[in-house]
Amino acid sequence: MPRRTAQEWIRTSMRTPGILIFGMVMAPCGWILDLTSTVAPNWRTLHSVQGQASDVIIQQGIWDICKASEIDRVIECNQVDTAYFNNQIIEVAQGLMVASLIVTLIGIAVAIPGVRCWKDRPQWVVAGLGGLLIFLSGVMTIIPIAWYTHILPNVTTTTTSTDIRVGFCIVLGYIGGIFEILGGFVMFIGICRCCGGKNRGEKPIEEVMGAQFRHQKPPSRRVEVPSLNRTRSSASSVPYSKDSMEDDVSFPRAKSPAARSVNTSYSGRPYDADL
């Protein structure tokens, strides 16, 4: 489809397009989930720890390790495990998760001036760049999460255990990363010109103007009524006289019969029928 200029498209819906609203909602939600996944010490849990009580659980994150009890709900953090923190995945996860949080905030800050609704037309290039940054932040979240999940049983630690399970931080990290990837990708679609204005809630001017003309009612026909300037009779309240009505007739009128005279004095001889 050939590229169209901005003058050939017109917005007919709300000022802030739906794709930008979707991205601006998904990005903060993903950032909150990624923040929880980064700071919470529960990337994996170790059950049935050797040398510990049966109800003790070791929760390992990328910044801290905590020991919890399933019976009395007591949690002791700042546990020392040098072998665990010396793993390469821990250092990579720390750097990428923090970078993801920072890039997400930068992407939201860049996208806000482009999607603001107090302007007639959004700034698609600015909003698209913000969406690209949000998309990259989601990718930076998925990489360490997926890597850690892949080598979950092989992450070395000084604490031996027979039961290794995935922590809730992995689940939150996946969800948050997917939110940011979807939101950033949808926002970046607005910068693409291959689909014309369809992906931005716009319609061609010819289509909009044609719809307006179809719904527009035709103007009412004006009828010219001739005015009658007639002389007004002083003896009548109507604006014309009887003589003027007789003079205005364009066809001959029948003559009225002559009045019959009645003679009351009859001197003739009466007939038998009159008796």
Q: Is residue 221 part of a domain?
A: no
pTM score of the predicted model: 0.65
Residue 174 has pLDDT above 60, yes or no: yes
The CATH number that applies at residue 123 is 1.20.140.150
Which is more confidently placed, 49 or 200? 49
The CA–CA distances, whole Å, from 39 to 36, 88, 144, 179, 235 equal 6, 18, 14, 19, 107
Q: Is residue 42 part of a domain?
A: yes
Q: Is residue 216 part of a domain?
A: no
Q: Is residue 267 part of a domain?
A: no
**pLDDT (tens digit, 9 = 90+) per residue, 44-54?**
998 888 878 88
**pLDDT (tens digit, 9 = 90+) per residue, 221-237?**
666 666 656 555 555 55
Q: Which two tokens stand for residue 230?
A: 């007639």
Q: Is residue 140 part of a domain?
A: yes
The CA–CA distances, whole Å, from 265 to 186, 196, 219, 259, 268 equal 120, 111, 76, 18, 9
Max distance between CA atoms of the chain, in angstroms, equals: 168
Residue 17 has pLDDT above 70, yes or no: yes
Q: Is residue 256 part of a domain?
A: no
| Domain tally, the chain | 1
Q: Which domain holds residue 94?
A: 8-191
**How far is Cα 248 from Cα 216, in angstroms, rounded to an integer?**
45
Q: In this structure, which amino acid lies at residue 57? A: I
Q: Is residue 144 part of a domain?
A: yes
**How far is Cα 130 from Cα 212, in angstroms, rounded to an integer?**
36
**pLDDT (tens digit, 9 = 90+) per residue, 72-105?**
778 888 888 889 999 999 999 999 999 999 999 9
Q: Is residue 196 part of a domain?
A: no
